[in-house]
C-alpha cells in the first residue's frame, strides 16, 4: 500500500453550495459507507478529507494499492462528476525530501 493525495477542484457554478443537483450527490456520498466502497477499489483507508469551501478545492489522503483503482473509485462515488481531479503519490517530508537533499548536497 502507498499514500496518495486526491486533489480536486470545481467551478463556482458546480459547487454543492450553489448547485442543487451536485448537492444531492455530495450528501448521498457523505451518507453512504464510503470506506466500504473504497475497500472495493483496494483503498485500505481514507486518512483525511480536507476541504476549502470558498476556494472550491479539496485534498483527500488515502492509503491505496493502485492509483488507477483510485480513479475508478472517484468515478463510482461521483466525486469525478463535478471535480477536476489529480491523483498524486505522497511521501512524508522526512522520508522523501530530507534524504534526497542530504544525498544531493553530501550532507
Helix (H) or strand (E) segment spanning residue 43: strand 43-52
Q: In what order do the strands lie in the sheet with 43-52?
A: 43-52, 57-64, 2-9, 84-89
Nearest residue to 56 (alpha-carbon basis) of 88, 11, 86? 11
Q: Measure CA of the first residue to CA of the last residue in the chain; give whole Å.
A: 30
Per-residue pLDDT of the chain (107 residues; tens, 9 = 90+): 899 999 999 999 999 999 999 999 999 988 988 999 999 999 999 999 999 999 999 999 999 999 999 999 999 999 999 999 999 999 988 988 899 999 999 99
pTM for the whole structure = 0.87
Helix (H) or strand (E) segment spanning residue 73: helix 67-77
So what's the pLDDT on residue 17?
A: 94
Q: Between β-strands 2-9 and 43-52, what pairing exists: parallel, antiparallel or unpaired?
A: unpaired
Domains and CATH numbers, the chain: 2-105 (3.30.70.1060)
Amino acid at each position: 500500500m502507498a499514500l496518495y493525495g486526491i486533489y480536486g477542484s470545481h467551478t463556482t457554478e458546480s459547487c454543492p453550495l450553489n448547485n442543487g443537483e451536485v448537492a444531492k450527490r455530495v450528501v448521498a456520498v457523505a451518507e453512504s459507507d464510503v470506506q466500504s466502497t473504497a475497500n472495493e477499489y483496494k483503498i485500505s483507508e481514507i486518512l483525511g478529507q480536507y476541504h476549502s469551501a470558498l476556494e472550491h478545492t479539496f485534498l483527500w489522503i488515502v492509503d491505496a494499492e493502485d492509483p488507477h483503482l483510485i480513479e475508478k473509485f472517484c468515478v463510482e462515488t461521483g466525486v469525478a462528476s463535478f471535480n477536476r481531479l489529480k491523483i498524486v503519490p505522497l511521501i512524508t517530508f522526512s522520508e522523501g525530501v530530507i534524504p534526497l537533499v542530504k544525498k544531493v548536497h553530501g550532507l
